[in-house]
Structure 1
Amino acid sequence: MILDTMRMRYFTRIAQLGSLTRASGELGVAQPALSLHMRTLEEQLGTQLLNRTSRGVTLTEAGETLLSHTEPILRAIAQAEHATREQAEFPTGEVVLGILGSLSPALGIPILEECRRRFPRIQLMVSEGDSQTLKSALENRSFDLAVTLGDVAKPSATPLFEEALYVVGPPGYFDKSLETMSLSEALALPLILPSQRHGIRIILERSAAMLGLSLNIAWVIEGVESSKAAIRSGFGLSILGRGAIHADTVAGQLSSVKIAAADASRFLVLDMPTNHPPTRAVMEVRKIVVETVVALGRRGHWTAMV
């Protein structure tokens, strides 16, 4: 290429200053070398660019034409360099984070708040879904990250936490002296559960089969908030993770008892696509997700594994 960035910069500064001597001093290039660059450029372009006089240089018509192109090009290059450096310091861009619907009430807002505080230029969107929906969204790259069940995630997913499951009822349903309940007792209760594509339903079906039992399903309701509303209205009980019910139990809107069986818990992971490299913004959000999980783990929401 005849007109590389270096020659554009040399020519433009000479034209702006009207002097080879002054341009030589500013550019840190010896004047004979600078003159040689310009003569070579003129020869390769087949036209004279500079009128050389004892008082300096002026532009020919061809030189004016070239300058009208080199100035915006160099300005765009400088802006690109600035934007790239700024991106390294202040990451920008859109990031879509998927979270299991039952975890979103506990995880979503803390992650959004921390991202807004630390990286205001990142546009973070949190989307709820069941484990199969999150898996599909990662596979087609609709989501950049997903907090989902380890059972459906890729082997490369990062372990996040183990969450205990609770039997959930209306306010005051359980005796205050009741600290835990066996899994077999929980499965015999009239349960409000989601369809079989949901993680908790999968865990409970598997656990029931291992015990030689079956689920006592009173109602099939999709959506955590709809299920909790049905519980409060007396339609039945449910089995949910602590993160989904913590705020409700603290506020006295629901009551709950922890299921004692070791197999009545679920393992959550942070999954992401493997078929394209993550952006800086995605990696920063990933760090925030992990830090939020650890912080909530210290408050007793779950047992963090990171």
Structure 2
Amino acid sequence: MSGFLSLFLDKVLVVLAFRKYMFSIIPIYNLYGTGRMLDTRQLRYFLEIAKQGSITAASVTLGVAQPALSLHLRKLEDQLGTPLMHRQRSGVIPTEAGLLLIERGRRIVDEMSRTIDDISTLGSDPSGIVRIGLPGTISAIVSLPLITAAHKRYPRITINIAEAMSGFISTWAAEDRVDLCILYRDIGLPGFRSELLLEENLVVLSQARIDAAEHVSLKKLSKQMMVLPSKGHGLRDLIDKEFQAIGINASVALEIDSYANIKSLVANGFGASILPAHAVRDERDTGTLFVSQIEEGGLRRQVHLITPTRRPVTRAQLLVTELLREVVSDLINTETWSGAKLPDGSIKFP
């Protein structure tokens, strides 16, 4: 049956029916001469049932009566000649055939949505709202050049940027409250693509003094009191992991999540810290703080671009995603994003 469904889903015929002021796209799925036809409504209903794990829950989100939705599912199974869902008292779970239909069907429905969007804006400037979630430290670097570039290239696209810590942004992405986002880690959720966007260098900052070393080892650093973000913060977790990898722990004097406050505390002698190089560039240049490189090959933090794969992506979202990559490449090229490098170590973004 899996082979049969593969053939079914690999052949898609699209009929464009143009009307006076609008057009509609009518998808027809032909089961290779079997005379069995499906439309995207059947696929959407099935996918929502699978997502909710319950016909009752899906009927609420779809606004379709439960008996009617159950009938749609039975008809779909009859058309394909195989069960797609195991019915249980607690809900439904996909069969092997159902899992295959979820995988292939979601791509088809998403592609149809993108096709409608692309055709509707064909011959005109792309338009729409694109919502982006960014950590505050990245937003401070990326937001202005991205918005400026988008305004110049795509004047009808509006970019809305929401700032927060990575944990909150991950939740926003899962709830579809942002269209794409940048995180300091892989999102680790199904339905998303995580692309390694860049790596940034982490450095040691300490109170400016004559005897400060250009390079410092983590072992030596562990003997100093440190001002670090609190546990659970992505940067703190990375720092703790690196210390633990060599069998030691950081000596923490104070915990605070604000980079500005960390720098102020370090400048006033409360301890050393570890932050991204770009976050301390101004203080390094003015001599307010002393910046040292970490020995043992240095310490780097990965930055990921997160985009959805479980739902339709508009033309505006695709264009802004590509523009974001270009802007990041330019920021690294011009050393505006200090201490950052692209994944392959090159300057030009692939």
Which bracket does the TM-score occupy, shorter chain normalised? 0.5 to 0.7
Equivalent residue number for residue 140 of structure 1: 175
In the alignment, the residues of structure 2 paired with residue 189 and residue 101 of structure 1 have an alpha-carbon distance, to the nearest angstrom, of 28
Q: Deviations over 1:99-133 (max 9, x none)?
A: 22333322233222222332232222223322222
Contact 2:186 2:304 in 1 (8 A): no
Report the structure, 1 or 2, having the larger strand content.
2
The yes-or-no answer on 1:262 pairing with 2:297 is: yes
Tell me, yes or no, if the aligned pair for 1:115 and 1:122 is still in contact at 8 Å: yes
Q: Which residue of 2 aligns with 1:59?
A: none
**2:201 maps to which of 164, 183, 197:** 164
Indicate the residue corresponding to 1:130 in structure 2: 165
Structure index of larger Rg:
1
Q: Which has the higher contact order (CA 8 A, sep 6+)?
A: 1
Q: Which amino acid aligns with 1:168?
A: L
Q: Which structure carries more helix by proportion?
A: 1
Aligned to 1:220: 255
Q: Which residue of 2 aligns with 1:303?
A: 341
TM-score, normalised by the number of residues in structure 1? 0.64
Instruction: Give yes or no for contact 2:131–2:177 (8 Å, CA) kept in 1.
Output: yes
**Could you tell me the percent identity over the aligned residues?**
25
Aligned length: 226
Contact persistence 1:101–1:224 (CA under 8 A): no
Q: Shift in Å at residue 194 of structure 1?
A: 1.5
Aligned to 2:125: 90
Runs of at least 5 residues in structure 1 that lack an aligned partner in the other structure: 7-80
8 Å CA contact 1:103–1:243 kept in 2: the answer is no
Give the match's secondary structure for 2:310.
coil
Task: Provide structure 2 residue ranges, at least 5 long, that are not aligned to the other structure.
Answer: 1-17, 21-116, 344-348
1:200 match: secondary structure:
helix
- The amino acid across from 2:245 in the alignment is M
Task: State the 1:153 CA deviation.
Answer: 4.4
Work out whether residues 214 and 291 of structure 2, in 8 Å CA contact, stay in contact via their aligned partners in 1. no
Q: Determine if contact 1:165/1:265 at 8 Å carries over to the other structure.
A: yes
- Whether the 8 Å CA contact 1:96–1:124 is kept in 2: the answer is yes
Query: Mapping of 1:1-306 within 5 angstroms?
Result: 5=19, 84-85=120-121, 89-153=124-188, 156-170=193-207, 172-173=208-209, 175=211, 178-262=213-297, 264-298=299-333, 299=335, 301-305=339-343, 306=349
Task: Supply the distance in 1 between the matched residues of 2:282 and 2:124 (Cα, whole angstroms).
Answer: 36
| AA aligned opposite 1:138 | A
- CA offset at residue 175 of structure 1? 4.8
Shift of 1:252: 4.0
TM-score with structure 2 length normalisation? 0.57
